[in-house]
Structure 1
Amino acid sequence: MSNLLTVLLIIDSVLIVIATLMQPSKQQDALSALSGGATDLFGKQKSRGFEAFMEKVTVVLGALFFGLSLALVYLSSH
């Protein structure tokens, strides 16, 4: 059982990296990085389409990673 959870955790880790890299960039230029994104504070819009989908996929994969990690720790301690 521990081996199965380890394999699932590794697969989930790779999928998290892929999902994170597929997300569109939110900063347009270096100036917004230097200013801390203050100009984007009031211009915040809700994500739509592909960006919203990728955010949800990343959250689900992160929750799955957390659950698998806890299960693996529980199994290794008992």
Structure 2
Amino acid sequence: MDLFLKIILLIVSVVLTGSILLQSGNSAGLSGSIGGGAEQLFGKKKSQGYEAILSKISTAAAIVFILCSLVLVAFE
């Protein structure tokens, strides 16, 4: 059981890292907040497409990662 959870934790950590690195970053700075706000208000919706899928994957992977970590710590 211990080995199985460690393997799952390894796989989930790789998936979590990859899904976070593939997501596009938020615009930073003053110009990004002005331009990004207008783009978000009038422009592309981030709730569709691959960014939504990556967001759901990273959320699910983070939940599984935390649960596996807690179970491993509780049973050690």
Same fold by TM-score greater than 0.5: yes
Q: What's the offset of the Cα at 1:36?
A: 7.5
What are the Cα deviations for residues 2-43 of structure 1, in whole angstroms up to 9, with x where unaligned?
11111111111011111111223443xxxxx22174323465
Q: Which runs of 5+ in 2 are unaligned?
A: none
Q: Could you say which residue in structure 2 is the equivalent of 1:35?
A: 30
Distance of aligned partners of 1:46 and 1:24 in 2 relative to their CA distance in 1, 3 Å threshold: closer
Cα distance in structure 2, aligned partners of 1:6 and 1:72: 8
Measured after TM superposition, the shift of residue 75 of structure 1 is 1.1
Point out the structure with the larger helix share: 2
Q: Which amino acid aligns with 1:56?
A: K
User: How far does residue 74 in structure 1 lie from its aligned partner after superposition?
Assistant: 1.1
Q: Structure 1 runs of 4+ off > 2 angstroms?
A: 24-27, 40-47
CA distance in 2, matches of 1:63, 1:8: 13
Counterpart residue identity of residue 75, structure 2? L
Gaps (5+ residues) in structure 1? 28-32
TM-score w.r.t. the length of structure 2 is 0.76
Mean CA deviation greater in 17-26 or 52-61: 17-26
Q: What RMSD over aligned residues (CA atoms) do the two structures have, in Å?
A: 2.0
Q: Distance in 1 between matches of 2:75 and 2:39?
A: 47
Q: Percent identity?
A: 30
Aligned to 2:72: 72
Q: Please give the TM-score of this superposition, normalised by the length of structure 1.
A: 0.74
- Identify the residue that residue 23 of structure 1 maps to in structure 2: 23
- Give the corresponding residue for 2:13: 13
